[in-house]
Amino acid sequence: MPNMKAVGLYKYLPIDHPESLLDVEVPKPIATGRDLLVKVKAIAVNPVDAIVRSPKPDVEEGPKILGWDVAGVVEEVGPDCTLFKPGEEVYYSGSITRQGGNSEYHLVDERIVGKKPRTLDFAEAAALPLTTTTAYESLFDRLQISRDVNQDKNKTILIIGAAGGVGSIAIQLAKLAGLTIIGTVSRPETTKWAKNLGADHVINHYEEFIPQLKELGLDTVDYILCLSKTEKYWETMEKVIVPQGKICSIVETDEKLDITLMKNKSVTFVWEMVFTRSMFETSDIIEQHHLLNKVADLVDQGKIRTTLSERLSPINAENLKKAHKKVESRTTIGKIVLENF
C-alpha cells in the first residue's frame, strides 16, 4: 500500500513545542461505501484545530491528523457514491470523528461535500467550507431566518465577533437575507473588514453594548449570533434581545449559564455545532452537500466573497504551526490557508 505525506501529532502539546505538529507519512486510504478519496490541494486552519490540539495527557498510537477545511479533486469514489465522480473539484469541512484533511489524500462522506466554486482557486475555496456551513446552519436552521429577502427584511441581527471566519460569512449571508447587521469588532482593521463585507453598523465588543446600540437608534435586536465567549456576553444578550427573539451561539463554555434569565422574554436559545450532522449521521446529513452547492452558486454569481486573508505554502508542519499560533492569538481576520504539498 503506497504512503502519503501528512501533518499529524502523537501528543497534545503547546504549539511552540517541537512535537506539537509533525511531518509524517501514513498509508494512502481507499474509498469504500459513500466515501470519496480526495486529492488535497489546499486546507484552511480554524479555531477547532487549535482546540483539538490543545494540551492534554492523551497519547495517540498512530498520528492524529487535524484539519477541517479542504479543497481538492476527487481521486476515486466508493461503490455506493452517486453525487460525484473522479476528476471533479470539491470543497468541504469533513467530520470531527474522522482523520482530518491535513494530508495528501483524504477520505470524506460525499453527503457533506460540495462542488467547488468555479470562480475560485483551491486556496480561496478552502477558506470557506467550515465557516460557511456554520454560518448557514446558524442563520437558517437554528435561528430560522427566512432565505426569502422579503420575509425578514429590515429585521436586525447582532453578530458578536463579526470579523472572524464565521462572522465574515454570516455578514454576507445575513445581508442576502435582507437583515440589518450590527457587527461587533475592536480594531480599525476589523471595522473596515466587517463593513466591506456588508455590516450596516459596527460596535466595540470591549464596551457596553446598550449605549452603543442606543446611539444607532436601537433598544433591542431581533436575532443574535454569538461567535465569542458565550458566558461573557450572556447577560448582555438577554438585555438586548427583543422579547420572543432568538439567540444562537457556536462557542462552548465551561461556566454554567443561567438559562432562566431568558424566561421572561420567552427567548429561544440554540447551539450550533457544524459537525452534528456528520458526527451522528443524521437523516438530513445531505443538507450540508446542498448548502455548500448553494453557496458555491452564490460565489460564482458574485454574491459571496471568499474570506481568505493569508496564504502559506507548502502544507507542512512548520507552516501549520505558524497558522495555529496566529489562530490562537485571536487576532486573525478572515482565514489562513495553506496550499500544495
CB 8 within 8 A of CB 21: yes
pLDDT of residue 200: 97
Sign of the Cα pseudo-torsion (303, 134, 40, 283, in order): negative
Render pLDDT for 313-326 as a digit per residue (tens, 0 to 9): 999 999 999 999 99
330 vs 71, 114, 203, 308, CA distance in Å?
A: 24, 29, 18, 16
For residue 311, what are the CA distances in angstroms to 30, 131, 177, 320? 29, 17, 30, 11
End-to-end CA distance of the chain: 20
Other CB atoms within 10 Å distance of the CB of residue 200: 17
Cell numbers placing 332: 486573525
Torsion sign over Cα 295, 322, 105, 42:
positive
Angle between helices 165-176 and 188-197 (to 10 degrees): 30
pLDDT in tens, 147-161: 877 788 889 999 999
CA atoms within 13 A on the CB side of 234: 16
Can you give the pLDDT at residue 333? 86
Is the preceding omega at residue 314 within 30 degrees of 0, hence cis? yes
Name, in order, each residue with C-beta under 8 angstroms of 210's C-beta and a sequence gap of 6 or more.
Answer: 236, 239, 240
Q: Which residues of 163-177 are buried (b: 16+ CB within 10 A; e: fewer)?
A: bbbbbbbbbbbbbeb
The predicted pLDDT at position 142 comes to 98
- 325 burial (CB, 10 Å; 0-12 / 13-18 / 19+) is middle
Instruction: Point out the residues of the chain with pLDDT beneath 70.
Output: none
Looking at residue 304, its pLDDT comes to: 97
Cell 476589523, located at residue:
190
Instruction: Please tell me whether the overall predicted TM-score, pTM, comes out greater than 0.85 for this model.
Output: yes
**CA distance to 97, 108, 174, 270, per residue, from 150 (Å):** 39, 37, 13, 24
Q: From the CB of residue 30, how many other CB atoms can be counted at a distance below 10 Å?
A: 12
pLDDT of amino acid 153: 81
CA distances from 312 to 20, 78, 123, 169, 337 (A): 19, 32, 10, 21, 6
Angle at CA 175, nearest 5°, toward 173 and 48?
A: 35
> Using CA atoms, how far apart are residues 315 and 82, in angstroms rounded to an integer?
30
